[in-house]
Structures are given as C-alpha cells and as structure tokens.
Structure 1
Amino acid sequence: MLALIKTSIGTKFVMRWSDLMCHLALQAVRIVAQDEGAVKTVDIKRYARVEKIPGGEIEQSKVLNGIMVNKDITHPKMRRRIMNPRIILLDCPLEYKKGESQTNIEISKEADWARIQEIEEEQVKGMVDKILEFKPDLVITEKGISDYAQHFLFKANVSAIRRVRKSDNNRIARAVGATIVNRLEDLRESDIGTQCGLFNIEKIGDEYYTFLTECTTPKACTILLRGPSKDILNEIDRNLADAMSVARNVYFNPLLAPGGGATEMAISVGLHAKARTITGVEGWPFRAVADAMEVIPRTLVQNSGGNAIRVLTELRAKHANGEYSWGINGETGKIVDMKTYGLYESASVKIQILKTAIEAARVLCGLTMWCRRLAKTRKEKPAVPHLRRWSKARLSRPGTRADTLQPRSPSIAVDIE
C-alpha cells in the first residue's frame, strides 16, 4: 500500500518527503477506519484533522495517537500535565443562568444585594458539585466557564478548558471514549472518558496547545504538520489529502491494477478481440472504445520522448501473449513489467474512471442524435408563404407603378392587377 500511495504523490511538491507522507497518510487512515462487520467507514474529513503550525522542519510532522486543540486551561494555576485523566465533556455552560427575557430587580436593602450574589454563587457551586461527584481530572466544555466555577474547580484540583469547537469536541469524545453531555443532570459514570493516557499543555511558538495523547483505541487523530511557512504547509496539506484519499479507497476495495497504461492496453486488446468476432456495424463501438483506451499508453510514450508506434506495437504483442502486467515506464518510455517496477493503481478508481467516460460518451452521442433529428424535422417542415397585402390606397398614390411593386417572398408570384 505504501507503493500505491507513493505513486499518487510522486509528481507533487512532497515527493522529496514521500516516505514520510506515505506513513502519515496510512497511519491516519488506519486510526480512523472502523470495520463493523459488513459496514466499513473511514471518515477522514471529520476525524482526521490536520493542524498546521509554521516553524520547524517538515521531518518533524507526525500523527498523534490522540487529539490536539489550540486551547489553554482557564486558570493559570490548574494542572497542565495529568497521567490517565478522567475526562468529562460538556455542551452546557458552567455559569449563572440568566433570564430568557428582560429581568428587573428592585433592591431596597443591602442584605438583599448580598443574597442575590449568594444565590448566583450557590447555583454555580451546585453545578460544580454535580461534576465533582464523579471525581474528574479534566472538564472540557463547548460553552463558557464563569470565574466562580473556575475557582471551585481549581480548589478541587480539576483542570478546565472552555469554548472548544463542536468538531473538536466530537473528535475528543471519539478518542477518549467519552460521551458529550448536554445537561449536568444527565451525567453518568459511563459518560466519563478514561482511554486517554496523557493530558498535557505545550507552548509551540506563541500559542498554547492541548494534547490528549497515548489513547488506547483513539478512532480519531490529529496530523501535526510543521514547515517553514504557511504556503508550504498549505501545499503539504493538499498533497497529504490526496494520499489519504488513496489509502481510504484501497481500504474500502483492496484490489489493485497495474499502472503505466497496462490496464488500458489490456482492455484495448480484449475489445479488439471481441470486435473481430462480431460482424457488421455492431463491432464498431468495440473498436472505437479500444482505440480510445490506447491513448493513455501512447501519451506516456510521447511525453517520455519514445517512438510511439514501435513501443505500442511491442506492448500490444506482450498483451496478446497474456502478459497483462506490462506497461510504459514514464521516465524512459520503454515497456516494463509493472509487478517488477512496483507501479500500481486503485482498481476502484480505475473502474469509476471507465464508467464515467463511457457514460459521458453515451450522453454526448444521444445529444448529437437528438440535434440531428431536430434539424431534419425543421428541413422537412413546409414553408408558410407570407403574402403582402397591398392596399388600394398605396396603389392609387401618384408615381406608383404596379410593375415596380415586389412581394416580400421572392418565391411567390402575386397578381396585383
């Protein structure tokens, strides 16, 4: 599979680091892949996130066995490194719940003002006490955390991270084995994430990053890319996305096809053999598709500066003898055995390309026939003569001669007398 992925990025910017990128793509796909019997899922778009941090060397790029987010703890004195943490994920705020509409409070005594503050503190403390019943080490929420809540969490030696994106929270839940809770009243022991081996916060450049790594069964990952500039990182990101797509296709369908135009030439030889067994016009489509398939190996030979006629004749003879793995070496322009050369393509992608090409040809042929039929119908439709009516007033005007008047349609003779 590494050879197949390397083929997909062999002409791109990351060709110099092809071994590294192939391992990154393959490792990310294997982490995200889910095989549930007959159903296979590889959602690299949602669960394999790429974090690009300028600075450092490209060789420092790696796949984390967990999640990394661009967040810091809410209180500076909270713990920044925890081994085997118990993690609670929330989708609700740890703040005093305000009224949904405008609320006016009239205070006449100083004690009433103190009581209002006590009620707010009691409500926040009740939320924190509900969380502390499960003895967590880390609390992550998508909403805000008030200063009161931060104070009580800090006193309980619990670290907290707030305003995490929904997509990041879903990946964290998948990696650490936790369940996102929308209401604190629904919090259960089974919702606690315990599959994370290490929580730590590191400063990279000028920003702080939270790492949840060493997960037992992550099912989600973060690909950390390092590079000298943002433009280079963006290009690496695009090339890495292509490599991961190839790895995902092979995971769904592990069948491989030889590259270098070998597959196209094998199809061409087979269609030519089939066309020879069919008499009449029914064999023309087979010959047309067979000739079209030879465009790929012919283009490879021409781009490499070889003799297209001689090389294609040799390749056609090889395939006629049943050696279907022979193709074109794109660097030398000579025919080589793709099994020995190590050039393969995904069979699922090759099949889809052929289906799309044939379907597009069918649509164009149908459109051409429809246009010809419409043109023929218009030619066979009889023309309707448009006779010009000449009024007596115009004929009676002085200086008007009947023999100088001409009708609109030159093909129709009009008797004006």
Structure 2
Amino acid sequence: MQAPVIVMNTNMERESGRKAQLSNIQAAKTIADVIRTCLGPRAMLKMLLDPMGGIVMTNDGNAILREVEVAHPAAKSMIELARTQDEEVGDGTTSVIILAGEVLASALPFLERSIHPITIIRAFKQALEDALEIVTDISVPVNIGNRDEMMRLIKSSIGTKFVSQWSDLMCGIAFDAVKTVHMEVDGKREVDIKRYARVEKIPGGEIEESHVLNGVMVNKDVTHPKMRRRIENPRIILLDCPLEYKKGESQTNVEVVDESHWARLLEIEEDQVKEMCEHIIKLQPDLVFTEKGVSDLAQHYLMKANITAIRRVRKTDNNRIARATGATIVNRVEDLKDTDVGTRCGLFEVRKIGDEYFTYLVDCKDAKACTILLRGPSKDVLNEVERNLQDAMCVARNVMFEPRLSPGGGATEMALAVRLSEKAKSISGIEQWPYKALAESLEVIPRTLVQNCGGNAIKVLTQLRAKHANGEHTWGIDGTSGKIVDMREYGVWEPQAVKSQTIKTAVESACLLLRVDDIVSGVSRRQEGGGGAPAQAPEDMPDDGAER
C-alpha cells in the first residue's frame, strides 16, 4: 500500500511535469481502492493492527485512514480529506475519498492528450458550482421538531454501519443527545456535542441497555465512606480549588524549636481548613465537587455538616455538571455566593457497575449537557458503537443547522451526473469534455453501492440512468439488495450539508492535486532504508573521500 518515496540525493532526483501528475493520480486511486469496499450497508470491515499490537475492526473511512501509514505526499493529502470531512460535518468520510479518487482518475485521459491542467481545473470548478445548485434544487425541507422524520434520517447514516441491527435504539440515543445539548444563544444555534455529550463506555451487559442520561455521570465515588450516597434535589457547589492547607511558597522557612511551636503550626493549618469549610457550609449545600484534592480534615468538617464531597473531577466533567445543574464553577471558596449553587438536579446517586463506582446526577430540569451510557460485550464492540454513534449525532446536528435533506442511496450523485452531462452539451470549446468527465465520475457512488452487494453494476446503472433521464431524481440504489428503489418510499435521506461538503471537498482537493507539477523530496535514502547517498549539504558531508 505504501507508494514509492521520491528521494532527492545530490544528483537532484525528482518527478516533474506529467510524471508527477500521473504519480499523484495513481496514489489517490490506491487510497480510494482501499476504502471502496467500506461504502453502503453491505460494507466489509477492515482489521487494522496498530504498532502496539492492538486491533481495530471498523468500516468507518476516517478511522481506517487514521491508522494507514503512507509515504506518498498525494496519498497523505487524500487522507487529510477524510479528516476535514469528519471535522466539518462528521459523516461522508468514505464517500469523499472514493469521489476524489474517481475525479482525479477522470482527469487522466485529458492529461495524456496534453490538455493543460488549468483548463481541466476550470471545467471542474464550473461543474462544481452547477452541482451545488442542483443539490439545493433536488433537496427537500425537513421539520426538525418531528421525531419520526429525524429518526428516519439518522437511520440512513448508521444503516451502513456495524450498529445497524440496533438502529432504532442508536438513532433514539443520537437524537435525544443532540436535542439535549441544543441551545440558542443570541439567536444563534449552538450544538456542541464534543464537549457536552460525553460517551461513557462500560464493558458488560447488553447493547440494548445503552441509553441517554438526563444529566451527567462521572466515574467517581464519595471521598469519605460515611458521606451520603443518595440525595434528592441536592444543592450543588462546583469548585476549581483545593480544600487543603495552603502551604507557603518555596522560600518559606519555619523553625520548630519545641513541641508548642509544632502544635501551633498544626493549629494554623486546622484553622485555615476550617475557615475554608465554613465558607462552603454557610451556603448549606448537599454536594461539593472539586477539581483538586480534599484533605482528611476538610472531609471531617464537611461530613459533620452532612455534606458529600467528590474530589479530582475532570475539568471537562465539571463543565458538563455546571451546564446540567445550573451551578457556577468558583475558583476561591471566599467568592461563593448563593447564585453559584446549582439546584436543577433531581437526584444524586452513587451506583456500582461491575467493580467500579459511578456518580449519577440525573433528572435535571432543562439539562443542557448529557452522558450517553454505552454497554456491550467487549471494548472493541463498544469502540465501534461509539464511532457509529458519533456519525449519527453529527447527522442530527447538521440537520438542525441546515434543515434540508437530499435523497440517499446514490440518488443525488446520479441526478447530478445526468443533469451535468446534459449541461455539458451547452458548453463550447475544450472545457466541455472535462466537465462531462466530472459528471460521469459522480456515478462512482451508486456503482460502488451495487458492486458491494454483489449486483450487476452495468444493468442496474442503466436502469437508474433511465429513471433519472425521465426526471425521477429520487431513485437510487437499495444497498442491501442492489436493486433500484424510490428513496421517498425507501426512506433513505441524507443532510444536504453532508452532500454539498462531500462534493465540494472531493472536487477542490482533486483540483489542488492537479495543480502539482513537481515533487521534490528532501528525505534521505538512508533514513528510508534505501541505502543510497544521504541528502546532505556538501559542507555537512564527512570529508573522508566518500562519494557525494
């Protein structure tokens, strides 16, 4: 899978002009071929071995490409595409690689006929503009308040994944999580699933036991065994400071001559901790969370006041607790006010799952943060379920931002291919041919869907082309049987944001790689294990008569 490394030694080895372009296209096609079998509901899994000996089994394009090691710069650029797509919209990572590889391959015949790359790029850019207009034209609006519509949509994103057999459960989890963290701030929508919807994976139990908590769960137990482990409607204080004796700075010197001095030192320490606890006790909380430590003495004072303390909470968990309970994180106990106390939580409880204790803060009123509890037979299964769930949540988030849907199952790509081919006839000059080639390369998505489930690609695509030629742009491929179906009845839709981003990223990156006409490498052959002369400047070379 590793493409050859182009090494420049003192003889200035390099690839330039046509050779560099062909090399780039070949590398892009190689990456696309690795990923191709991972598209659609009949997708094959890839088993990846990492350097530490661990294994990852997945059909998620982004997860696969993260683990693949390549040396060719164009192949590295292709791998970046999947990462860009994942960061931007969270879905369509496999499609974007397949599409970019096919678009580059479609440019190959024109390069061989000595058509200038800039002419090809101009045609591709024109086709991209027209394609984005067509996507908007064939998309339909969606009501984000209608749960059934949203569930059908999210199903299409995880129907191709490992968790498809539990799709109702997972779609419900994804939709509920996104709805929980959805906020409107100054008229702007904010859906931050990375920070406020945490996935907690606990091996054991069945996948059916997974659910979204209306609140937060952290892997912590109370600091003192006698503290309360269940409190209804608790008053919660969140701290970002230690409840311990504050030692002096590094220059502090204390001289202890007799026992009374030592007793006085301990007394000062005790007073300081007691004062800290009094600031907290004054507000009559039931629960105190701190990101730092809690000394034994502080535990004693808090326990006497019937307050439960939990220490060393992660910063991210503390932020989620603040969002869920309405509390404010405070840096100094002296600054605590009554308004900083969180009161939105309905129940605090410490539960034991397996060998570990977990703190639950649930039944929160208007919680804007949540924890998704995933159960499953093994860590590998849970990791794959989490990857699939992230895609589903991203789909729900995209639709909330842009509530328009495009038909799935390759229908959108086929509609684009047919309409752009028609439009190409009206373009004069040499640009007509690369324009038409881009239109044909979009057919790679429906073709791959048919191939992955063992169908006859030529026969099925001919039927599909005929449907689209009659203006029936919602017809696509049933990825399970390989036959053509109407997506309106079949119910597979994808967010318009994902479709537009996929086409945009694929075409623009293909244009970028076509612009490259020179690859010069400064990597020495010796580093790569080639055994050739090292790429060193003459003054750095050892002066022992060695060949330069």
Q: Give the TM-score of the pair, scaled to structure 2.
A: 0.65
Task: Note the C-alpha offset of 1:321.
Answer: 2.2
Identity %: 68
Q: How does 1:262-411 map to 2 (within 5 A)?
A: 262-367=411-516
The alpha carbon displacement at 1:293 in A equals 1.7
Q: Distance in 1 between matches of 2:405 and 2:429?
A: 36
Q: CA deviation at 1:38?
A: 4.1
* Shift in alpha-carbon separation, 1:108–1:35, aligned structure 2, 3 A: same
Aligned to 1:27: 176
Q: Do the aligned residues in 1 keep the contact of 2:410 with 2:476 (CA within 8 Å)? A: yes
Query: Which residue in the other structure is 1:117 paired with?
Result: 266
The Cα shift of 1:207 comes to 1.4
Aligned-pair RMSD on alpha carbons? Answer: 1.8
1:220 is the counterpart of 2:369: yes
Aligned-pair CA distance for 1:208: 1.1
How do 1:2-401 and structure 2 match up within 5 A? 2-367=151-516
Q: How many Å separate the matches in 1 of 2:186 and 2:288? A: 34
Instruction: Give me the whole-angstrom Cα distance separating, in 2, the residues matched to 1:163 and 1:4.
Output: 40
Relative contact order, higher structure (CA 8 A, sep 6+): 2
Equivalents in 2 of 1:63, 1:46: separation in Å?
Answer: 15
Question: In the alignment, residue 386 of structure 2 is paired with which amino acid?
Answer: D
Name which of structure 1's ranges 225-234 and 298-307 shifts more when overlaid on structure 2: 298-307
State the one-letter code of the partner of 1:21: M
Whole-Å separation in 2 of the counterparts to 1:110 and 1:330: 82
Q: What 5-or-longer segments of structure 2 have no aligned partner?
A: 1-149, 520-548
1:320-374: per-residue Cα shift (whole Å, max 9, x none)?
Answer: 2221111122233332111001111121111111112221232233335x89xxx
Letter of the 1:164 counterpart: V
Q: d(CA) in 2 for partners of 1:176 and 1:356?
A: 40
Q: How far has the Cα of 1:256 moved from its partner?
A: 0.8
Q: In the aligned structure 1, how far is the partner of 2:480 from the partner of 2:469?
A: 24
Q: Which amino acid in the other structure matches residue 193 of structure 1?
A: G
Tell me if structure 1 keeps the 8 A contact 2:276–2:334.
no
State the Cα deviation string for residues 211-247 of structure 1 (Å, max 9, x = none).
1111001111111111222222222222222222222
CA distance in 1, matches of 2:203, 2:463: 51
Once the two structures are superposed, what CA deviation does each residue of 1:167-192 show, in whole Å capped at 9, x if it has no partner?
11111111111111001121111111
2:454 & 2:247 partners in 1: Cα distance?
A: 75
For 2:330, the aligned partner's letter is V
Deviation at 1:306, TM superposition (A): 4.0
Alpha carbons of structure 1 residues 282 and 38: separation in structure 2 relative to 1, 3 Å:
farther
Q: Which runs of 5+ in 1 are unaligned?
A: 372-417
- The range that moved more, 32-41 or 241-250, is 32-41
- Kept in 1, the 8 Å contact 2:285–2:307? The answer is yes
- Provide closer, same or farther for how the CA distance between residues 51 and 104 of structure 1 changes in structure 2, counting only shifts above 3 A: same
Greater shift, 299-308 or 289-298, is seen at 299-308
Q: SS state of the match for residue 120, structure 1?
A: helix
How much has 1:18 moved relative to structure 2? Answer: 1.4
Q: What is the match of residue 411 of structure 1?
A: none
C-alpha separation between the residues in 1 aligned to 2:345 and 2:201? 23
CA distance 1:109–1:345, shift in 2 (3 Å): same
Q: Relative to structure 1, is the Cα distance of residues 237 and 310 closer, same or farther in structure 2, using a 3 angstrom cutoff?
A: closer
**Structure 1 position 66, deviation (Å):** 0.5
Return the letter of the residue paired with 2:282: E
CA distance in 2, matches of 1:175, 1:89: 12
Give, as a single letter, the amino acid of the residue that structure 2 aligns with 1:318.
K
The one-letter amino acid paired with 2:324 is A
- Report how far residue 282 of structure 1 moved: 3.5
Cα distance in 2, alignment partners of residues 228 and 279 from structure 1? 61
